[in-house]
Amino acid sequence: MRIGHRISIAANKVPGVRAAVVHDVTSAHLAREHNHANVLCLGSRLTGSVVALEALEAWLNATPAEGRHVARIAKIDELDGHLVDDER
């Protein structure tokens, strides 16, 4: 299975990381804009090199959105903080 999920699972174990698996320009843009993803995961089986580069460019150029998305990100960050506190 080379679709990016394994690396996203591992990356999301790191406090502060919001890794997203993407397969195209739209999913890359939305991962950054709506979920404030700060790590991009691309699977080699489903994503060719041209699409991967286009997705990377879209992700890098996307701006994390405010509004309704902020509450979701705050919940994720809160969960992240609880996990860090529990490990201490």
Domains and CATH numbers, the chain: 5-87 (3.40.1400.10)
Rounded average pLDDT over 54-69: 94
For residues 10 and 19, give the distance between their C-alpha atoms in angstroms, rounded to a whole number.
9
For residues 14 and 60, give the distance between their C-alpha atoms in angstroms, rounded to a whole number.
21
Tokens of 68: 């309704």
Mean predicted lDDT score pLDDT of the chain: 87
For residues 30 and 12, give the distance between their C-alpha atoms in angstroms, rounded to a whole number.
18
**What one-letter code names the amino acid at 60?**
L
Cα-Cα-Cα-Cα dihedral sign, residues 7, 9, 14, 19: positive
Q: What is the pLDDT of residue 86?
A: 47
pLDDT tens digits, 28-55? 999 999 999 999 999 888 889 999 999 9
